[in-house]
């Protein structure tokens, strides 16, 4: 997304929010959240990738890495706990699809939390610790 497309997108979002909710603290907060989330792909789409990442970029990348891992681990454990709860407390013959779904989804989240995606092979690949 180029800079012009990003600014047009923000203008459209601002107009929609204004006509739906007017100007209030809540509408400004919603606009800022949308603008911040939309800024991430805009920034990485316009960044010169031949330059070495700055200290701030490395800091934010590391923060995102650990937030993502924490969320994946927490949701993975919750999903596996839900699958275990259904398997032990309910009738597994009636709820087998729920058990399989939550179990597989929990395992996938735990895997994504450790490895980071389909192209990485280990914990160190995702963290940028390899030289």
Parse the chain into domains and list their residue ranges. Answer: 3-46, 55-127
**For all residues of the chain together, what is the average pLDDT?**
81
- Proportion of the chain in helix, strand, coil states, percent, rounded to 5: 75, 0, 25
pTM, 2 dp = 0.58
Give the pair of three-digit tokens for residue 60.
Answer: 């934010």
Instruction: Report pLDDT for 131.
Output: 42
CA distances 62 to 93, 114, 120, Å, are 44, 14, 16
The mean pLDDT of 27-53, rounded to a whole number, is 82
């Amino acid at each position: 997304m180029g800079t012009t497309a990003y600014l047009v997108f923000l203008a459209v979002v601002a107009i929609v929010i204004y006509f739906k909710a007017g100007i209030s603290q809540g509408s400004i907060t919603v606009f800022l959240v949308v603008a911040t989330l939309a800024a991430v792909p805009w920034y990485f789409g316009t960044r010169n990738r031949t330059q070495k990442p700055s200290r701030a970029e490395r800091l934010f990348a590391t923060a995102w890495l650990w937030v993502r891992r924490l969320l994946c681990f927490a949701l993975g454990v919750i999903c596996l706990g839900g699958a275990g709860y259904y398997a032990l407390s309910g009738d597994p013959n009636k709820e087998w699809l729920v058990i399989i779904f939550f179990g597989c989804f929990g395992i996938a989240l735990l895997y994504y939390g450790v490895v980071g995606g389909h192209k990485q092979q280990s914990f160190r690949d995702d963290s940028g610790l390899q030289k």
